[in-house]
Amino acid sequence: MKEQEYLEMCNHFKEELEKKESVIKLFVGQNLELKKLLMMSYTYARQIDEFCSVLLGDQSNEITQHAESLRGLMSEVLDKYIFSDTHILISTSNDD
């Protein structure tokens, strides 16, 4: 392999790597925003559940049931994707 071919191949690899890094940074940013949105949604579901409990007391109705279901689902999602130790952290810093 000639030196020029080797340099061209290295430059191509560098360009491809930079493209992949920019996509990863985009995904990391989107992931963070989605996590914030999930946490806010859980907070709203919890508030709706509490307001329904206070306003309606022991009267079981559809709103209370939906609020409790949503709250439970959101809690599972938060535990699985935000608070678990199994999620993958990707560093976006450039150590150039």
Domain boundaries, the chain: 3-81
| Whole-number Å distance between alpha carbons of 33 and 26 | 11
Q: Which residues contact 45 (CB under 8 A, 6 or more apart)?
A: 67, 70, 71, 74
| Whole-number Å distance between alpha carbons of 57 and 64 | 10
pLDDT tens digit string along 52-66? Answer: 778 877 666 777 788
pLDDT tens digit string along 6-38? Answer: 899 999 999 999 999 999 999 988 888 888 888
Count of C-beta atoms within a 10 Å radius of residue 64 = 19
The pTM assigned to this predicted structure is 0.60
| Whole-number Å distance between alpha carbons of 79 and 82 | 6
